[in-house]
Structure 1
Amino acid sequence: MNHFELFAIEPEYAVDLADLQVRYRKLQQAMHPDRFANASERDKLLAVQRTSQLNDAYHTLRDPLGRAEYILGLRGVDMQHEQKTLQDPEFLMAQMEWRERVEELNAGDFTAIDQAYSDLERETKVLQEQLEQQIAEADNDEAANSIRKLKFMHKLGRELEALEDA
Protein backbone atom coordinates (compact mmCIF):
# COMPACT_ATOMS: atom_id res chain seq x y z
CA MET A 1 0.00 0.00 0.00
CA ASN A 2 1.48 3.34 -0.98
CA HIS A 3 1.22 6.51 1.10
CA PHE A 4 -1.68 7.93 -0.88
CA GLU A 5 -3.63 4.68 -0.61
CA LEU A 6 -2.98 4.59 3.12
CA PHE A 7 -4.72 7.94 3.51
CA ALA A 8 -7.30 7.18 0.80
CA ILE A 9 -6.40 10.28 -1.21
CA GLU A 10 -5.57 10.82 -4.86
CA PRO A 11 -1.88 10.55 -5.79
CA GLU A 12 -1.51 14.21 -6.72
CA TYR A 13 0.97 16.92 -5.86
CA ALA A 14 -1.76 19.24 -4.58
CA VAL A 15 -2.80 17.84 -1.21
CA ASP A 16 -5.27 19.36 1.24
CA LEU A 17 -3.00 19.48 4.28
CA ALA A 18 -5.83 20.05 6.75
CA ASP A 19 -7.65 16.97 5.41
CA LEU A 20 -4.40 14.99 5.49
CA GLN A 21 -3.93 15.89 9.14
CA VAL A 22 -7.49 14.83 10.03
CA ARG A 23 -7.00 11.50 8.25
CA TYR A 24 -3.63 11.03 9.96
CA ARG A 25 -5.10 11.56 13.42
CA LYS A 26 -7.93 9.09 12.77
CA LEU A 27 -5.55 6.45 11.48
CA GLN A 28 -3.11 7.14 14.30
CA GLN A 29 -5.84 6.49 16.87
CA ALA A 30 -6.91 3.27 15.15
CA MET A 31 -3.36 1.95 14.70
CA HIS A 32 -1.72 3.13 17.91
CA PRO A 33 0.29 0.32 19.56
CA ASP A 34 -1.37 0.98 22.94
CA ARG A 35 -4.60 -0.40 21.47
CA PHE A 36 -2.78 -3.71 21.07
CA ALA A 37 -1.35 -3.93 24.60
CA ASN A 38 -3.13 -7.24 25.29
CA ALA A 39 -2.52 -8.69 21.83
CA SER A 40 0.03 -11.29 20.83
CA GLU A 41 3.67 -10.27 20.36
CA ARG A 42 3.22 -10.59 16.60
CA ASP A 43 0.23 -8.23 16.62
CA LYS A 44 2.11 -5.77 18.84
CA LEU A 45 5.01 -5.78 16.41
CA LEU A 46 2.66 -5.28 13.45
CA ALA A 47 1.03 -2.34 15.24
CA VAL A 48 4.42 -0.70 15.77
CA GLN A 49 5.32 -1.28 12.11
CA ARG A 50 2.01 0.12 10.87
CA THR A 51 2.41 3.18 13.10
CA SER A 52 5.92 3.71 11.76
CA GLN A 53 4.64 3.44 8.18
CA LEU A 54 1.83 5.86 8.98
CA ASN A 55 4.21 8.41 10.48
CA ASP A 56 6.57 8.12 7.52
CA ALA A 57 3.71 8.49 5.05
CA TYR A 58 2.33 11.53 6.85
CA HIS A 59 5.67 13.33 7.01
CA THR A 60 6.39 12.54 3.36
CA LEU A 61 3.03 13.75 2.08
CA ARG A 62 3.02 16.82 4.30
CA ASP A 63 6.30 18.07 2.80
CA PRO A 64 5.96 19.39 -0.77
CA LEU A 65 9.44 18.21 -1.84
CA GLY A 66 9.04 14.85 -0.14
CA ARG A 67 5.63 14.44 -1.74
CA ALA A 68 6.99 15.32 -5.19
CA GLU A 69 9.89 12.87 -4.83
CA TYR A 70 7.48 10.20 -3.63
CA ILE A 71 5.19 10.71 -6.63
CA LEU A 72 8.16 10.42 -8.97
CA GLY A 73 9.23 7.30 -7.07
CA LEU A 74 5.82 5.78 -7.74
CA ARG A 75 6.49 6.50 -11.41
CA GLY A 76 9.84 4.74 -11.31
CA VAL A 77 12.09 7.77 -10.83
CA ASP A 78 14.27 7.20 -7.76
CA MET A 79 15.79 10.45 -6.55
CA GLN A 80 16.66 9.22 -3.06
CA HIS A 81 20.06 7.78 -3.95
CA GLU A 82 20.90 9.63 -7.11
CA GLN A 83 24.17 11.34 -7.80
CA LYS A 84 22.94 13.18 -10.89
CA THR A 85 23.81 16.85 -11.11
CA LEU A 86 21.66 19.51 -12.66
CA GLN A 87 22.65 20.40 -16.22
CA ASP A 88 20.86 23.75 -16.45
CA PRO A 89 23.49 26.46 -17.14
CA GLU A 90 21.05 29.27 -16.37
CA PHE A 91 20.18 27.84 -12.96
CA LEU A 92 23.83 27.04 -12.22
CA MET A 93 24.64 30.70 -12.87
CA ALA A 94 21.77 31.75 -10.59
CA GLN A 95 23.19 29.43 -7.90
CA MET A 96 26.54 31.15 -8.08
CA GLU A 97 24.85 34.55 -7.85
CA TRP A 98 22.87 33.42 -4.81
CA ARG A 99 26.03 32.05 -3.18
CA GLU A 100 27.82 35.37 -3.70
CA ARG A 101 24.84 37.29 -2.37
CA VAL A 102 24.63 35.19 0.79
CA GLU A 103 28.39 35.44 1.37
CA GLU A 104 28.18 39.24 1.13
CA LEU A 105 25.35 39.52 3.67
CA ASN A 106 26.23 40.75 7.13
CA ALA A 107 24.61 39.04 10.10
CA GLY A 108 23.32 42.36 11.47
CA ASP A 109 21.89 43.66 8.19
CA PHE A 110 18.31 42.48 8.70
CA THR A 111 17.00 44.60 5.83
CA ALA A 112 19.26 42.86 3.33
CA ILE A 113 18.49 39.45 4.86
CA ASP A 114 14.75 40.14 4.69
CA GLN A 115 15.10 41.17 1.04
CA ALA A 116 17.02 37.98 0.29
CA TYR A 117 14.25 35.96 2.01
CA SER A 118 11.60 37.73 -0.07
CA ASP A 119 13.49 37.11 -3.30
CA LEU A 120 14.08 33.49 -2.35
CA GLU A 121 10.40 32.95 -1.48
CA ARG A 122 9.32 34.46 -4.80
CA GLU A 123 11.70 32.28 -6.83
CA THR A 124 10.78 29.20 -4.78
CA LYS A 125 7.08 29.80 -5.38
CA VAL A 126 7.64 29.96 -9.15
CA LEU A 127 9.61 26.70 -9.04
CA GLN A 128 6.90 25.01 -6.95
CA GLU A 129 4.23 26.07 -9.42
CA GLN A 130 6.33 24.69 -12.28
CA LEU A 131 6.83 21.45 -10.35
CA GLU A 132 3.11 21.06 -9.75
CA GLN A 133 2.44 21.51 -13.47
CA GLN A 134 5.23 19.11 -14.46
CA ILE A 135 3.89 16.43 -12.13
CA ALA A 136 0.36 16.92 -13.41
CA GLU A 137 1.63 16.54 -16.99
CA ALA A 138 3.80 13.52 -16.01
CA ASP A 139 6.91 15.36 -17.24
CA ASN A 140 9.07 13.34 -14.86
CA ASP A 141 12.47 14.51 -16.10
CA GLU A 142 11.61 18.18 -15.77
CA ALA A 143 9.89 17.53 -12.42
CA ALA A 144 13.07 15.85 -11.18
CA ASN A 145 15.08 18.90 -12.28
CA SER A 146 12.66 21.20 -10.49
CA ILE A 147 13.03 19.12 -7.33
CA ARG A 148 16.82 19.46 -7.56
CA LYS A 149 16.44 23.22 -7.92
CA LEU A 150 14.03 23.42 -5.00
CA LYS A 151 16.41 21.44 -2.80
CA PHE A 152 19.03 24.08 -3.47
CA MET A 153 16.54 26.84 -2.67
CA HIS A 154 15.56 25.17 0.61
CA LYS A 155 19.21 24.75 1.56
CA LEU A 156 19.77 28.40 0.79
CA GLY A 157 16.81 29.27 3.01
CA ARG A 158 18.39 27.36 5.90
CA GLU A 159 21.62 29.25 5.33
CA LEU A 160 19.75 32.56 5.47
CA GLU A 161 18.09 31.44 8.71
CA ALA A 162 21.49 30.57 10.19
CA LEU A 163 22.85 33.95 9.14
CA GLU A 164 19.87 35.68 10.72
CA ASP A 165 20.32 33.68 13.95
CA ALA A 166 23.99 34.70 14.06
Structure 2
Amino acid sequence: MDLTADFFSLFELPKSFRISLSELDSRYRDIQAQVHPDRFVSAGDAERRLSMQWATHANEAYQTLKKPLERAKYLLHQAGHDIQAENNTAMPVDFLMEQMEWREAVMDARSGGDHHELEHLHNRLRGDINARYDELADLFDQDDHSAATELVRRLMFLEKLLYEIDDALASLEE
Protein backbone atom coordinates (compact mmCIF):
# COMPACT_ATOMS: atom_id res chain seq x y z
CA MET A 1 0.00 0.00 0.00
CA ASP A 2 1.13 3.49 -0.81
CA LEU A 3 0.40 6.41 1.53
CA THR A 4 0.67 8.80 -1.42
CA ALA A 5 -1.93 6.95 -3.50
CA ASP A 6 -5.05 8.86 -4.41
CA PHE A 7 -8.19 7.87 -2.51
CA PHE A 8 -9.69 5.91 -5.41
CA SER A 9 -6.51 3.86 -5.92
CA LEU A 10 -6.33 3.17 -2.20
CA PHE A 11 -9.69 1.38 -2.40
CA GLU A 12 -9.08 0.00 -5.91
CA LEU A 13 -12.08 1.92 -7.25
CA PRO A 14 -12.45 3.63 -10.61
CA LYS A 15 -11.65 7.34 -10.49
CA SER A 16 -15.26 8.30 -11.07
CA PHE A 17 -18.07 10.17 -9.36
CA ARG A 18 -20.22 7.06 -9.71
CA ILE A 19 -18.81 4.49 -7.30
CA SER A 20 -20.25 1.50 -5.52
CA LEU A 21 -20.68 2.48 -1.88
CA SER A 22 -20.94 -1.18 -0.89
CA GLU A 23 -17.54 -1.84 -2.55
CA LEU A 24 -16.12 1.22 -0.81
CA ASP A 25 -17.43 -0.02 2.56
CA SER A 26 -16.05 -3.51 1.99
CA ARG A 27 -12.61 -2.33 0.90
CA TYR A 28 -12.46 0.15 3.78
CA ARG A 29 -13.16 -2.66 6.25
CA ASP A 30 -10.48 -4.80 4.59
CA ILE A 31 -7.88 -2.04 4.89
CA GLN A 32 -8.84 -1.26 8.48
CA ALA A 33 -8.50 -4.94 9.35
CA GLN A 34 -4.92 -4.80 8.06
CA VAL A 35 -3.75 -1.47 9.48
CA HIS A 36 -5.85 -0.76 12.57
CA PRO A 37 -3.56 0.38 15.42
CA ASP A 38 -5.01 -2.27 17.75
CA ARG A 39 -3.22 -4.90 15.65
CA PHE A 40 0.13 -3.18 16.35
CA VAL A 41 -0.05 -2.71 20.12
CA SER A 42 3.00 -4.90 20.75
CA ALA A 43 4.90 -3.74 17.64
CA GLY A 44 7.76 -1.26 17.66
CA ASP A 45 7.29 2.50 17.64
CA ALA A 46 7.90 2.82 13.89
CA GLU A 47 5.35 0.11 13.04
CA ARG A 48 2.76 1.61 15.40
CA ARG A 49 3.31 5.06 13.91
CA LEU A 50 2.99 3.72 10.35
CA SER A 51 -0.16 1.84 11.32
CA MET A 52 -1.64 5.05 12.73
CA GLN A 53 -0.73 6.94 9.53
CA TRP A 54 -2.37 4.25 7.41
CA ALA A 55 -5.51 4.14 9.53
CA THR A 56 -5.76 7.95 9.41
CA HIS A 57 -5.23 8.02 5.64
CA ALA A 58 -7.83 5.29 5.10
CA ASN A 59 -10.34 7.10 7.34
CA GLU A 60 -9.84 10.39 5.50
CA ALA A 61 -10.17 8.67 2.12
CA TYR A 62 -13.29 6.80 3.20
CA GLN A 63 -15.00 9.88 4.65
CA THR A 64 -14.22 11.81 1.47
CA LEU A 65 -15.41 9.19 -1.01
CA LYS A 66 -18.57 8.11 0.80
CA LYS A 67 -20.13 11.60 0.69
CA PRO A 68 -21.09 12.72 -2.83
CA LEU A 69 -20.26 16.41 -2.29
CA GLU A 70 -16.85 15.64 -0.77
CA ARG A 71 -16.16 13.06 -3.50
CA ALA A 72 -16.99 15.68 -6.16
CA LYS A 73 -14.71 18.27 -4.54
CA TYR A 74 -11.93 15.68 -4.38
CA LEU A 75 -12.35 14.74 -8.05
CA LEU A 76 -12.24 18.41 -9.04
CA HIS A 77 -9.16 18.98 -6.91
CA GLN A 78 -7.49 15.94 -8.51
CA ALA A 79 -8.33 17.41 -11.94
CA GLY A 80 -6.76 20.75 -10.96
CA HIS A 81 -10.02 22.68 -10.58
CA ASP A 82 -10.34 24.94 -7.56
CA ILE A 83 -13.97 25.50 -6.55
CA GLN A 84 -12.95 28.75 -4.80
CA ALA A 85 -15.61 28.23 -2.14
CA GLU A 86 -14.07 30.78 0.21
CA ASN A 87 -13.57 33.70 -2.15
CA ASN A 88 -16.02 33.15 -5.02
CA THR A 89 -19.57 33.37 -3.70
CA ALA A 90 -21.05 34.84 -6.87
CA MET A 91 -24.17 32.94 -7.92
CA PRO A 92 -26.84 33.57 -10.53
CA VAL A 93 -29.63 35.81 -9.26
CA ASP A 94 -32.35 33.21 -9.85
CA PHE A 95 -30.45 30.67 -7.74
CA LEU A 96 -29.98 33.20 -4.94
CA MET A 97 -33.68 34.13 -5.04
CA GLU A 98 -34.59 30.46 -4.83
CA GLN A 99 -32.31 30.12 -1.80
CA MET A 100 -33.99 33.07 -0.10
CA GLU A 101 -37.43 31.55 -0.73
CA TRP A 102 -36.32 28.22 0.69
CA ARG A 103 -34.85 29.86 3.78
CA GLU A 104 -38.01 31.91 4.36
CA ALA A 105 -40.14 28.77 4.09
CA VAL A 106 -37.88 26.98 6.58
CA MET A 107 -37.95 29.93 8.96
CA ASP A 108 -41.75 30.18 8.77
CA ALA A 109 -42.23 26.45 9.33
CA ARG A 110 -39.75 26.45 12.20
CA SER A 111 -41.26 29.45 13.97
CA GLY A 112 -44.75 28.04 13.40
CA GLY A 113 -43.71 24.66 14.78
CA ASP A 114 -44.91 23.04 11.55
CA HIS A 115 -43.14 19.68 11.62
CA HIS A 116 -45.12 18.42 8.61
CA GLU A 117 -44.04 21.38 6.44
CA LEU A 118 -40.40 20.95 7.44
CA GLU A 119 -40.61 17.26 6.47
CA HIS A 120 -42.16 18.29 3.15
CA LEU A 121 -39.37 20.85 2.54
CA HIS A 122 -36.74 18.26 3.47
CA ASN A 123 -38.16 15.71 1.02
CA ARG A 124 -38.48 18.26 -1.81
CA LEU A 125 -34.93 19.51 -1.28
CA ARG A 126 -33.51 15.98 -0.98
CA GLY A 127 -35.12 15.14 -4.33
CA ASP A 128 -33.67 18.28 -5.91
CA ILE A 129 -30.21 17.52 -4.51
CA ASN A 130 -30.35 13.92 -5.75
CA ALA A 131 -31.30 15.10 -9.24
CA ARG A 132 -28.38 17.52 -9.21
CA TYR A 133 -25.99 14.75 -8.15
CA ASP A 134 -27.19 12.73 -11.14
CA GLU A 135 -26.48 15.75 -13.33
CA LEU A 136 -23.07 16.12 -11.68
CA ALA A 137 -22.23 12.47 -12.43
CA ASP A 138 -23.02 13.11 -16.09
CA LEU A 139 -20.79 16.22 -16.11
CA PHE A 140 -17.90 14.18 -14.67
CA ASP A 141 -18.52 11.46 -17.28
CA GLN A 142 -18.21 14.16 -19.96
CA ASP A 143 -15.08 15.65 -18.31
CA ASP A 144 -16.89 18.99 -18.08
CA HIS A 145 -15.02 20.16 -15.00
CA SER A 146 -16.03 23.80 -15.36
CA ALA A 147 -19.75 23.01 -15.25
CA ALA A 148 -19.11 20.43 -12.49
CA THR A 149 -17.31 23.09 -10.44
CA GLU A 150 -20.27 25.44 -10.77
CA LEU A 151 -22.72 22.71 -9.82
CA VAL A 152 -20.62 21.69 -6.80
CA ARG A 153 -20.71 25.29 -5.58
CA ARG A 154 -24.51 25.24 -5.85
CA LEU A 155 -24.71 21.88 -4.11
CA MET A 156 -22.73 23.30 -1.21
CA PHE A 157 -25.54 25.85 -0.68
CA LEU A 158 -28.22 23.19 -1.01
CA GLU A 159 -26.54 20.76 1.38
CA LYS A 160 -26.21 23.57 3.93
CA LEU A 161 -29.90 24.35 3.52
CA LEU A 162 -30.77 20.67 4.02
CA TYR A 163 -28.73 20.72 7.23
CA GLU A 164 -30.71 23.79 8.38
CA ILE A 165 -34.00 21.97 7.71
CA ASP A 166 -32.78 18.93 9.63
CA ASP A 167 -31.68 21.20 12.47
CA ALA A 168 -35.13 22.82 12.52
CA LEU A 169 -36.78 19.39 12.62
CA ALA A 170 -34.53 18.32 15.48
CA SER A 171 -35.31 21.48 17.46
CA LEU A 172 -39.07 20.80 17.12
CA GLU A 173 -38.59 17.25 18.37
CA GLU A 174 -36.87 18.40 21.56
Q: Give the TM-score, by structure 1 length.
A: 0.91
Moved more, 46-55 or 102-111: 102-111
Is there any run of 5+ residues in structure 2 with no aligned partner, and where? none
1:152 to 138, 146, 157: 157
Q: How does 1:1-166 map to 2 (within 5 A)?
A: 1-79=5-83, 82-105=86-109, 106-166=111-171
CA distance in 1: counterparts of 2:129 and 2:112, whole angstroms:
23
Equivalent residue of 2:91, what SS? coil
Among all aligned residue pairs of Structure 1 and Structure 2, give the percentage whose two residues are the same amino acid. Answer: 33
Equivalent residue of 1:27, what SS? helix
Equivalent residue of 2:155, what SS? helix
CA contact (8 A) 2:119 2:169 kept: no
Runs of 4+ in 1 over 4 A off after TM superposition: none
RMSD: 1.7
Equivalent residue of 1:76, what SS? coil
Moved more, 3-12 or 109-118: 109-118
Moved more, 126-135 or 22-31: 126-135
Q: Give the TM-score, by structure 2 length.
A: 0.88
CA distance in 1: counterparts of 2:138 and 2:36, whole angstroms:
37
Is there any run of 5+ residues in structure 1 with no aligned partner, and where? none
Aligned-residue offset at 1:113: 1.3
Equivalent residue of 2:80, what SS? coil
Residue correspondences, number: 166
